[in-house]
Structure 1
Amino acid sequence: VAQATTAASQLSGKMAAAAGSGNTLSREVLKWVQSLDLAYSVKNAKRDFSNGFLVAEIFSRYYDKDVQMHSFDNGHSVASKKDNWAQLLKFFAKRNVLPAGEPVTQATVDAIVHCRDGAAVAFINSVYELLSGRRVQKPPEPPAGDPLPAFAKPTASTVLRDSLMDPDMQTTDHSVAEAKMKEKLEAHEADLQTQRLEDPARFAPRDRMSSKVLRGSARTVGAEESKQSVTVKRVNVKTVDAANVAQLRATKEIAAHSARAGMSVTSGSRSVLAMGGDGDPAAMAAAMAAAAVPSAVDVLNEVVMRELAGRDVVHTFDPRKPACLSFVDAVRGMDDFPDDLTAQVVDGFGARAGDLADACAVRPKDFWSVVAVFTPLAVVLPEASPGFAAVTDAYCALGRAMVAKDSSSAAAGNAQALFEDFALPKLCTLLRTHAEKRAALVRVVYSFAGPDVEAHTQAIRSLQTTLDHLPTLMLCMVHCAHNETALALADEHLLDLYLYYCMIGMGMSSPSIRAASVGMLAVILAAKPEMGRRMLDRVAALQDDTWWETRAQVLVVCATLLREVPADDGDGMADRATEIATAVLAAASPPVARVGLAYLAPCLEAHDALVQPFVAALLALPGSVRENLLLAGDAGAPDALVDSGAAAAFHLQPVTNAWPALAVARALAATVAAEGLQNLDVEHFDVLVAALRGAAFNGGTSPGGTDEWLDVFDQLKGFVVVALCDPVCAESAVSVLRTFTFNTERGPSVLEADVRKSAVLGSLIIMHNGSDADGHCRTCAREFLSEVASQGGDFADAVRELLSRFRDGKPDLYA
């Protein structure tokens, strides 16, 4: 039996080695595959390459224009495998790709698809030799082993079972399957006949002897054996005072450290060690310092009890649990738990981030206790609540404190390792299911990474491994990019990593992933504008995308590039970006135009070719959207946000904070003239009034003197005065007239009294001739003229002259 067991173990090892040698990539080929930075790591060659997805990704590195990864599905169904390989076979035929020097046949594909031993590895080896130009070093042949023992040879049932598991047997034609099984069974019978001829002794009949049962010595029935007596000592339990629990815990911690350092500790003695023997003073000091640091649970409990002191919710806490965990249970279980109170307690946690970091540094298991409090709160609290913001802020404060603790000690990367082990797996569930929480959670991930590029790269790798879901990873990458600094993105390897995911995402079928990838590109171009030379064509391909957010991100990319590149850059990047932005604005929906105008406004002064399309898009917006963009925002005013859900939120400032007001006013006048308008509408006045707020003579900062603005006024004056008779535009018209009357040298001449020249007089006649039913226009005109007359001097004379002409020309209306 022992010999048979040894032979069986040796046999299984030989069979595993034989199977593994044909299904394992060599070290040289595996290093080449890993250098391509594929979306998935190769763990089982014959399984991972069977669907053709990784094969397509390998060829996409060398034939990026012929192999588009959005056409391939990383599924393991038969339909997905056949579709992927059908596309690859077309590509091989089109580009005359000949692995191993001959065309790829359908038989080779079937062997790979059905996971035949050695098929995938042989194909990848031939692909490696074709693409790299190097030969695969084949391992030496293993020495011939001993023949299989009789008990290890296949039986008829084994042959039938293996036949049924063969992928070729998975056919709808049962007669063919039965014929193949019969053929293999007949081959097995023939092999047995050959073995009988070679080893007749194995098949010779043997005598079957009756088995012998070994019995013990006989004993008399009813005889009792003598039993040994067992004495159980009584255990005395000593009651421990609750006040001494902390002291016992500290003593236990010191004892643990002392045992590792070869020290002895006497409980109840104020001296940790009588200095002598082999004790290490440094180890003693470290042990005492660790014991002196309060645990994370104690810190959290203290915060909870302090912030909730005197509140009824404390009486609902389970006395068997720490107060911090009872607080979490209360937040999760009570629908009416005040959110501001939750935020107050969690802010207290964040304020003690330094103490929590100290506890996690000396006792890493304490970090698990912190995660057990923070993560459930991040799950249950709504993303827009103050409580969720407080939780993520506290998480980030803890991460920064732990990283700072690592940098001041020799334990570099300890904070990131703890986070990846205990917190990241739980947070990844949130990242997959709650898109609106991704930005804050990715910020938490980066707070536990060091400031160096290696730590940020490791954070991305950890996300990829833990998520194990490419769509979610792509949606998280844009938030990762927003957490990078320009210095980090200057690193070639990190930049290549972002560009890799960006190019994959821009070609995927998911609209949200495409939008996130274009948003990621905007961050990259802000740090490396020169990348625009090879990326603008890819961006232009998405300018007619069906998803609004993708088109909005295209405008953000163009605005980012135009802010960094001068108009005469010499490479045509500025002209190309302007061309793309103009095309998108021309057909933009209100959400797209709102985002694009807000981001493009700072680019208008340096790129004047954008001003006319900018004004046209602004005029086409609905009134409420346009008014929101034209608000006179202060520097400290909060941004208006459009939460995209996939990419990072768009931060929209009023366009009047950044646009060149005079250039916009000139473009407006040119638009009115080009379109041959008879009067100005509300949208024209909205833009004109907003531009005048930024004029230098009106307290604004826009360049351009009074003369340039007077030229604009002369082009639009007739339209403005006529609008005095329009109840909808009368107030805006008065605002424009007031600006040029009181802030320019034109002064009272705006109210020209000559009947042949004065459009103001004509408007007064019209509004008093019955066209102003509710009297709104007459009220606006009266208030304006009264304000002008109150200035005295020439202003008052101009008003009197105007009214005198009105009385003389239309005495009936004047009365």
Structure 2
Amino acid sequence: MVSSPGSQGQQSLGEDSKASALSTITYTGLNSGLKGERFLPREVQKWLQSLDLTYAVRNPHRDFANGFLIAEVFARYFPGEVTMHSFDPGLSLATKQNNWETLFKFLKKYRVDIAVEDFEPVIHNRPGAGISIITKVYRILTKRRLGRRGGSGAEELDPTRVVDGGTGMDAPNYAKNTASVVLKDAEIERTVDDNERVVKALIALDAHNQEQLSDRAKEGISDSQYRLYPQGRPEVSLDSGKGKLEPAGQDEDEESSEVRGVEVKALERPSPREVGADATPAEDDLDGPHQQRRHIGLEAMASADRNGSSQGTVESVLERIQAIAMPLVEGHDLGGPTLCQSIDPRKGFMACLFEGAGSSSDNAVAEEVVISVLVAIEERADELAPILINDPVEVCRLWKLLEPGFKSIAVDSPILSRLAELLRSVGASMRAVDPQLTAAAAKDVLLPLLTPIICTPGACYSRRCEYLLYLLFDGFVQSMASEESEMLRALREEVVYCYGRMVEALPTLVSCMNYIVTSSPNVDHDEPAGKALADVYLYYALGGLSSSSCRTRARGLGILLELAPRNATLMEVVRDATLEKVISSTIKEIESGLNSPVWWEMQVVVVALLLTFLDRTARSHDGVDTATADDTETQHALELLVRVMKSTKSAVVRRVALIGLARSSVLGAYQEALMEPFLQALVSDSPDDKRRYVLSPSRDTDRNDLPDGASPCLRLWWRRQREAAGGVRWPTNPQVTVTAFLTISVCEDGATSVDVLASPILEILDSILSASEDRADSSTAEVWAGLFRRLSGPLFASLLSLRLHDLAALCVGRLLVRGAQEAVSVRELATLIMRRIITPYYHEGANTGDRISEDRLVEFIKNFEPEKAALMAMDEFREKLNAAYIKSPFEKIYG
């Protein structure tokens, strides 16, 4: 029974006061750097008291953990929507999670700005989390902001600032967490899955290391001091009214400090908030240790952007590009002087071109004009490279010049791809001049400018992000494992800086790695640098698998799909990490038929991984009987593949599975397990055009069966499957294939006594026969003869159908050539011709709707081999249906 805050609360007042005092002492001792997070602000306390809650708030660290009081607060404002009988005041972990999940449904329904990341620290009693959540609730419900009157608890709190482990950012070094304390986090400990627990521990440890680097940067110890661009970087200042580049000097009174035996200068670097209006909104809203870690050169870049291009004897990149573009636009058929005169000088020449290309008004600039300009600049990229190498400020100006195109041009426009190709060519030209300076310019100048676009919500899943990563890694980075690893490390720093936390940045990083790994030639487990690079990709892939987002999990699996075929070691690592848990659990979810089905890409990547595992095993057992060589994991993979083919409801997944089996060696290596499901799906689940595409790859070679939005790794795997030579790779021994074919044909047609064979059955039979040898040995000939006897009646009856005649004639001829002619007597063939062709065709009540012409019938019987069977059939025709025989063309041919 819930007690009121009156009677029972007064009885236990002394004990609660002691506990509160003890908690305060603990906070004061461990968190001397925390000022505003020890107590609730006075305004919030008054507000809570006015709500007449069931329990008095004495220790926010504990009282808000189960979400009961938070739900009661919302119940006061939404009495009809939040009902307190749905919440339990218990303190167990399960109770806390149930309460917050129930409350979170209400928050999502009314779009209240409280996310899972806000209340998860509250559940685990992290210091400061309770005060942060109730302060955020106060601001949402009252529309007020806390004042700054100075005093404990009066300062406005940042709801996102939750201290882990009881130490704050401003605490002294001896009071801060060590790595061992970080790894004892409650959220990590309660994770049951071993792989997921390791990933969470690595993420927490990475965040701890980043915080340590940030603290060292505040003290003047920063690894960025060892970057290629020196601290005395160029800054733009005004001298006598003229813009002039001058090196930034260092103060003479800077202190020196000794770090690991290396003497460095103690530097004070401005935070991104000091940059001013040029900071992006995402950077401007961030707070925390990541603000202290920015790359060298950005302050100079922002200053250069505000003051314009440098004035002097050296030509700038803007002047060179304008000199290339202006004459071209003036002389273009769709441009001309009128277009040049309409350029707004306040916006810039290229910005106006991009704006006009993206406009639908009458003044729109034709795409051909912009593309011709970009092609001309790309052809003269060698002229721009020395300017950009000599001055990193020019790299920033070049990006600012082309940035409007990346932001405003539609993703499907050819302008965007041409823009990416232009910058890639510029990077390649710079790399030819000086590879080290090019990599430094990309890492310290270009990457921080690209990252805000990559981190825009939803951008990491679009082609725009792929274009940015393409120009960066393919143009500016050398094809060496060490250079690629360094750029990946810088990309992680920038993305984490934009989001503020590694957990929030992980989906974007996983999506970026999904594209970068497709063009990486350096992943290898045979040499140290390649092994380290492979470990980086594996780290992000496993991190993606632990995400709650199905799309992020699919992209993490996509990275593993690309890594697995690289070598045997990576194949083993990927199979051990995914087969038993990730793939099995996904297939169970598909089979369960829940209301929220598994996303199609997740299912497709699972099928692709299974095919990759089995294809690798089949190739390693080449020449060995797979029935004896297969291990338990291979049999499990076969079972999972059959299950997903039978249970999936997605046409895309079935189509990918069919084409993947048809183009690989898996179908032939494991035909006993896969042939029947393959044929069944080919007959019953595939439309005519899709089935014909699987059987004959010459049809529609330019088609793409994957929906828009497929990840880069999946698209690359699919392109390799479609480019595989030939149609279906049927096994050389037809015994299992024929047995499975007879099973599905009888199942499809009901029995061998059906009138005609269905079109899918004939198409598959023709594909099987065309892939076999014309002259077979005795055992193979016996197989074809048995198939002919089983299907001879429906097969000959299909010859009368206008739709099926050509396919049926091909199948009859190929079966006879491959051994049926020797096994079947002439009398049996003559009887088939008479009973299945002649009699139904010339019968008085025969259906003439879907029937071949008499000329085609005569042509087939004239060319039938053996000829003796046709003669015997004509004799029987003359004897039994003499009147019809005399009227038919056969009377003139056979007499």
> How high is the TM-score relative to the length of structure 2?
0.55
Change (3 A) 1:597 1:77: closer
Decide which of 638, 663, 667 is 2:740's aligned counterpart: 667
Unaligned runs of 5+ residues in structure 2 are 1-27, 36-60, 67-96, 105-113, 127-161, 186-200, 202-241, 248-311, 500-504, 590-597, 619-625, 888-895
Aligned to 1:607: 670
Q: 1:517 to 1:395 in 2, by over 3 A?
A: same
Q: 2:722 aligns to what?
A: 653
Change over 3 Å in CA distance of 1:389–1:557 after alignment to 2: same
1:544 corresponds, among 588, 594, 598, to 588
The 2-side partners of 1:629 and 1:635 are apart by 6
- Higher mean displacement: 716-725 or 602-611: 716-725
* Aligned partner letter, 1:536: L
Counterpart check, 1:483 vs 2:519: yes
**C-alpha distance in 1 between matches for 2:603 and 2:840:** 47
CA distance in 2, matches of 1:517, 1:584: 20
Give the Cα–Cα distance (whole angstroms) in 2 for the partners of residues 449 and 256 of structure 1.
29
Give yes or no for contact 1:790–1:796 (8 Å, CA) kept in 2.
yes
Equivalent runs, 1:486-635 vs 2, <5 Å: 487-488=523-524, 491-527=530-566, 528-531=570-573, 532-538=575-581, 539-545=583-589, 546-566=598-618, 567=626, 571-589=631-649, 590-601=651-662, 602=664, 603-608=666-671, 609-624=673-688, 626-627=690-691, 629-630=693-694, 632-634=696-698
CA distance in 1, matches of 2:417, 2:785: 51
**Relative to 1, partners in 2 of residues 1:578 and 1:400: Cα closer, same or farther, differing over 3 Å?**
farther
Give, in whole Å, the separation in 2 of the partners of 1:518 and 1:799: 61
Which of 408, 417, 432 is matched with 2:444 structurally? Answer: 417
Following TM superposition, by how much is the alpha carbon of 1:520 offset from its aligned partner in structure 2, in angstroms? 1.7
Look up the equivalent residue of 2:494 and give its one-letter code.
T
Distance 2:406 2:839 in 1: 68
Letter matched to residue 850 of structure 2: H
Farther off after superposition, 372-381 or 631-640:
631-640
Determine the C-alpha separation between the residues in 2 that align with 1:129 and 1:594: 45
Kept after mapping to 2: 8 A contact 1:301/1:322? no
Give the conservation status (yes or no) of the 8 Å contact 1:481–1:523. Answer: yes
Matched, 1:694 2:733: no
CA distance in 1 between counterparts of 2:535 and 2:399 reads 33
CA contact 2:443–2:490 (8 Å) conserved in 1: no
Q: Measure the CA separation in 2 of the matches of 1:337 and 1:751.
A: 77
Matching of residues 181-330 of structure 1 within 5 Å: 295=317, 297-299=319-321, 301-303=323-325, 305-306=327-328, 309-314=331-336, 315-317=338-340, 318=343, 320=345, 323-330=349-356
Quote the residue 1:802 is aligned against: 873
Structure 1 residues 450 and 615, CA, compared in 2 at 3 Å: closer, same or farther? same
Partners of 1:750 and 1:386 lie apart in 2 by: 63
CA distance, structure 1, for counterparts of residue 861 and residue 387 of structure 2: 73
Deviation, 1:78, is 5.6
Instruction: Mark the CA change 1:410 to 1:365 in structure 2 (over 3 Å): closer, same or farther.
Output: closer
Indicate the residue corresponding to 1:200 in structure 2.
Answer: none
Q: How do 1:90-489 residues align onto structure 2 when only pairs under 5 Å count?
A: 127=181, 295=317, 297-299=319-321, 301-303=323-325, 305-306=327-328, 309-314=331-336, 315-317=338-340, 318=343, 320=345, 323-335=349-361, 337-407=365-435, 412-429=439-456, 432=459, 435-447=462-474, 448-467=476-495, 468=499, 469-485=505-521, 487-488=523-524
May I ask how many residue pairs the two structures share in their alignment?
577
The Cα of 1:537 is off from its aligned counterpart by 0.8
Q: 1:266-303 CA distances to partner (integer Å, 9 max, x unpaired)?
A: xxxxxxxxxxxxxxxxxxxxxxxx97888365246525
SS in structure 2 of the partner of residue 543 of structure 1: helix
How well do the aligned residues superpose, as a CA RMSD in angstroms? 4.9
State the structure with more CA Rg. Answer: 1
Residue 759 and residue 573 in structure 1: after superposition, are their counterparts in 2 closer, same or farther (change >3 A)?
A: farther
Q: Do the aligned residues in 1 keep the contact of 2:387 with 2:394 (CA within 8 Å)?
A: yes
Q: 1:722–1:763: 8 Å Cα contact kept in structure 2?
A: yes
Equivalent-residue separation in structure 1 for 2:313 and 2:701 (angstroms): 49
- Cα distance between partner residues in 1 of 2:169 and 2:400: 46
- 1:786 corresponding residue in structure 2: 859
> How far did residue 530 of structure 1 move?
1.5
Q: SS at the partner of 1:758?
A: helix
| SS of equivalent to 1:586 | helix
C-alpha change, 1:312 and 1:117, in structure 2 (3 Å) is closer
* Aligned equivalents of 1:661, 1:654: Cα separation in 2: 20
Cα 1:296/1:559, change in 2 over 3 Å: farther
1:724 aligned partner, one-letter code: L
Indicate the SS of the match to 2:563. helix
1:712 CA drift (Å): 4.5
Partner SS for 2:456? helix
CA distance in 2, matches of 1:255, 1:396: 28
SS in 1 for 2:760: helix
Letter in 1 for 2:682: L
Paired-residue identity, %: 17
Which letter maps to 1:551?
Q
Amino acid at match of 2:550: P
Q: Cα gap change, 1:692/1:740 in structure 2, threshold over 3 Å: closer, same or farther? A: same
Flag the 1:452–1:804 CA change in 2: closer, same or farther, 3 A: same
Distance of aligned partners of 1:417 and 1:522 in 2 relative to their CA distance in 1, 3 Å threshold:
same
Amino acid in the other structure paired with 2:793: G
Which residue identity lines up with residue 575 of structure 1 in the other structure? Q
Amino acid at match of 1:328: F
d(CA) in 2 for partners of 1:23 and 1:306?
63
* Secondary structure of the corresponding residue to residue 778 of structure 1: coil
Match of 2:751 in 1: 677
Following superposition, the deviation at residue 487 of structure 1 comes to 3.4
In 1, Cα distance between equivalents of 2:322 and 2:867: 74
Instruction: Give, in angstroms, the shift of residue 584 of structure 1.
Output: 0.7
Output the CA distance in 1 between the equivalents of 2:667 and 2:384. 50
CA-to-aligned-CA distance 1:666-721 (integer Å, 9 cap, x gap): 532343357763343232223223334434449xxxxx977765654454333322
Q: Which moved more, 1:318-327 or 1:442-451?
A: 318-327
Identify the match of residue 777 of structure 1 among 846, 851, 855. 851
Provide closer, same or farther for how the CA distance between residues 354 and 735 of structure 1 changes in structure 2, counting only shifts above 3 A.
farther
Contact 1:689 1:736 in 2 (8 A): yes
Secondary structure of 1:777's counterpart equals: coil
2:796 aligns to what?
721
How far apart are the structure 2 equivalents of 1:442 and 1:550? 23
Q: Distance in 2 between matches of 1:305 and 1:666?
A: 72
Deviates more, 1:536-545 or 1:391-400: 391-400
Q: For 2:176 and 2:403, how far apart are their aligned partners in 1?
A: 47
Offset from partner CA, 1:531-556 (integer Å, 9 cap, x none): 11343112222123422221111110
